[in-house]
């Protein structure tokens, strides 16, 4: 159900109705059940008097300045969607979502650094809070929350598998059947620290796929994830006998394409404040478009 909200300075205002705002108990129930505010956060905000009512309105203080210590990159991220609560940025292939080493942090070449640059250039005192990740060599959209509250709501949505991620991959051969589900647990490869494999003792992992275009040597496959295991699509398609073009780590031919041919096409999620479904598409990168022409 769509909820009307508006920002007023450091406060967000809702109009949930008089039956909600007439008692602290009803307010607390609405915040935890409808907005999915974590109970610990609710107790803290009540103690700090950051939850107020006026008439039929309910106000939460969630927009307090929260500047990041992350050094910005020299150029801002490509923003696919943005409002006061959240942001979706485009991650090009070859860029990590965030720095994992001191050297990467010094180079300031991650998507997090680029998002930090965007916030500074647009005058926003906002901390960089990513909700999910993409592999370094996978392009596509990445969702960010702008406040601790929206971060908590979107994190919970991720845990509940309510954030839908749709991908396009170009794989070797012709998958058969043309549509199906790969339900195979994924664990670490004992012989290769950065590699994963299908393993009976691994973590539950489910990938849905559908072949969209087929050629003599390769096929375009569209995929969606129920789970978000490391390298999940790459592992599952290799397990099925159709590794991604360019994915040498999992048996793919990288002679003519220097990364795994995987792109996040779209992201669908419930907005943390309005409760409405949002869908954000990410354009295909040029290298994937050129490869697709060879199918």
Active site residues: 135
> What is the C-alpha to C-alpha distance for residues 13 and 266, in angstroms, rounded to an integer?
30
Quick one: DSSP state of residue 16?
-
- Look at the alpha carbons of 130, 135, 137, 138 in this order and tell me if their dihedral is positive or negative: negative
State yes or no: cis peptide before 281, omega within 30 of 0: no
Q: What is the DSSP string of 171-198?
A: EES--SSSEEEEE--EEEETTEEEEEEE
In the Cβ-directed half-sphere of 282, how many Cα atoms lie within 13 Å?
28
The helix or strand, by DSSP H or E, that contains position 19, with its residue range, turns out to be helix 18-21
Residue 110 near residue 98, CB atoms below 8 Å: yes
CA 29 to chain centre: 28
Tell me whether residue 122 is exposed, middle or buried, using C-beta atoms within 10 angstroms of its C-beta: 0 to 12, 13 to 18, 19 or more: exposed
Backbone angles phi and psi of 42, in degrees to 5: -60, -50
Q: Is 14 helix (H, G, I), strand (E, B) or coil?
A: strand
Instruction: Give me the residue label for tokens 């992350």.
Output: 70
């Amino acid at each position: 159900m769509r909820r009307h909200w508006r920002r007023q300075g450091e406060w967000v205002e809702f109009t949930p109705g008089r039956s909600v705002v007439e008692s602290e108990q009803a307010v607390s129930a609405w915040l935890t059940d409808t907005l999915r505010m974590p109970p610990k956060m609710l107790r803290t905000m009540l103690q700090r008097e950051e939850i107020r009512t006026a008439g039929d309105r309910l106000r939460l203080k969630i927009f307090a300045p929260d500047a990041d210590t992350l050094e910005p990159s020299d150029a801002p991220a490509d923003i696919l969607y943005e409002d006061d609560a959240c942001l979706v940025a485009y991650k090009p292939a070859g860029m990590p979502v965030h720095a994992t080493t001191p050297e990467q942090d010094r180079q300031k070449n991650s998507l997090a650094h680029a998002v930090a640059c965007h916030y500074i250039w647009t005058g926003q005192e906002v901390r960089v809070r990513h909700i999910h990740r993409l592999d370094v060599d996978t392009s596509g959209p990445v969702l960010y929350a702008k406040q601790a509250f929206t971060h908590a709501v979107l994190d919970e949505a991720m845990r509940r598998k309510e954030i839908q991620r749709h991908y396009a991959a170009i794989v070797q051969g012709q998958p058969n059947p043309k549509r199906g589900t790969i339900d195979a647990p994924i664990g670490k490869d004992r012989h290769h620290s950065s590699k994963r494999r299908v393993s009976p003792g691994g973590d539950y992992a489910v990938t849905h796929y559908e072949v969209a275009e087929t050629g003599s040597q390769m096929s375009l496959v569209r995929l969606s994830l129920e789970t978000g295991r490391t390298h999940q699509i790459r592992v599952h398609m290799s397990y099925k006998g159709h590794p991604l073009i360019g994915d040498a780590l999992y048996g793919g031919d990288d002679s003519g394409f220097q990364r795994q041919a995987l792109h996040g096409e779209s992201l669908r999620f419930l907005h943390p404040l309005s409760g409405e479904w949002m869908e954000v598409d990410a354009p295909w990168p040029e290298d994937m478009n050129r490869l697709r022409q060879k199918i």
